[in-house]
Structure 1
């Protein structure tokens, strides 16, 4: 999730100072963010014209306000779909192993399945700083993803029986780094 967009969305609710934004982010998502990252992000948002400094509160902390452009961006982000397509290291590692002669993916799949089952049995962290509804949403998403991982591993196990490993190709790419001349 984008910390940048999240901070804009929180600021859309009202002016905040940096550590207050960090606390609100944690309370609403359960995800921790370094306070330094919050301030760096605020400075970039200011540079991009999406937030502005509004002065200081009674304790001298700088208050930040979302600009009209920042408000539009935050609302557009909240209303948009996000792709869960991202680099999946487990899938890539299994796909690679299935193509390598002599590689046995059985232990790899078994180890991954054991890790997922272990994660499913771990208790959810009880973060008293996080809103109960937000905590339930995050826990449900985690559980559903882990259950999907188990179904994925079952499917890969079935596919592994049909996988045909192969050696390196005899075709060589046209481009490549030339050998450097020695002096």
Structure 2
């Protein structure tokens, strides 16, 4: 999701200024996507340039404090409606870095793909446990945050299943040997011990 539509959705509720938009964006997403204020104002500038938002006239406490308040235009509202009713496609989502990383680990000499998978599984399970604790403490009335949490939990659970599946596949494959063997599976002391053993063998 782009920041653009997040801000348009927030402005559909009511006119807001930059810091309000940042706070509401982070609250609505459970702070899973933190924004810096520079991102907010850069996006607002583009939205204003494209006629999707407009500045509210100088009135009220916000104007007195030097804060520019923005509101949605009819054009911005139409763009937001199109976004909501258009399904998200796989092309719209970022590349799966983990899948690419594991695929490269399998084909890169000197890398222990099983160790890569196991390390990631440990980290993902830890993250899943943290999400589960957050959900247990979440306010039952904060539906938006709960939905975001559920999505993150389901994604983490799916990742653990995929890592388990990958580990099973890797276990069925013979370990590489020779110069292409994974060095990460052998510690430095082991290498030194093996070298010393070869040196004293008659």
Tell whether the structures are fold-level matches, with TM greater than 0.5.
yes
Q: Is the 8 A contact 1:97 1:105 kept in 2?
A: yes
Which secondary structure state, in structure 2, belongs to the residue aligned with residue 139 of structure 1? helix
**Which residue of 2 is the match for residue 21 of structure 1?**
21
**Structure 2: segments with no counterpart, 5+ residues:** 177-202
**Which residue of 1 is the match for residue 39 of structure 2?**
37
Q: Is the 8 A contact 1:50 1:67 kept in 2?
A: yes
Structure 1: how far apart are the matches of 2:40 and 2:75? 19
Structure 2: how far apart are the matches of 1:112 and 1:55? 52
**Structure 1: segments with no counterpart, 5+ residues:** 166-183
Shift of 1:26: 2.1
1:109 aligns with one of 101, 106, 117: 117
Structure 2: how far apart are the matches of 1:54 and 1:127? 35
Shift of 1:113: 0.7
How many residue pairs get matched? 164
Which secondary structure state, in structure 1, belongs to the residue aligned with residue 41 of structure 2? helix
How big is each residue's C-alpha offset from its partner over 1:57-114, in whole Å with a ceiling of 9 and x where there is no partner? Answer: 4221322121111111111112222235421221111111212345321111111111
Which secondary structure state, in structure 2, belongs to the residue aligned with residue 55 of structure 1? coil
Which secondary structure state, in structure 2, belongs to the residue aligned with residue 33 of structure 1? coil
- Residue 46 to residue 164, structure 1, CA distance change in 2 (3 Å): farther
- Residue 41 to residue 102, structure 1, CA distance change in 2 (3 Å): closer
Structure 2: how far apart are the matches of 1:97 and 1:21? 41
**Which residue of 1 is the match for residue 197 of structure 2?**
none
**Which residue of 1 is the match for residue 84 of structure 2?**
78
Larger Rg: 2
Alignment of 1:153-172 (within 5 A): 153-160=163-170, 161-162=172-173
Which secondary structure state, in structure 2, belongs to the residue aligned with residue 25 of structure 1? helix
More helix as a share of residues:
2
**Which residue of 2 is the match for residue 152 of structure 1?**
162
Higher RCO structure, 1 or 2 (CA under 8 Å, sep 6+): 1
**Which residue of 1 is the match for residue 199 of structure 2?**
none
Please give the root-mean-square deviation of Cα atoms over the aligned residues, in Å.
2.5
**Which residue of 1 is the match for residue 3 of structure 2?**
3
Shift of 1:8: 0.9
Q: Is the 8 A contact 2:55 2:70 kept in 1?
A: yes
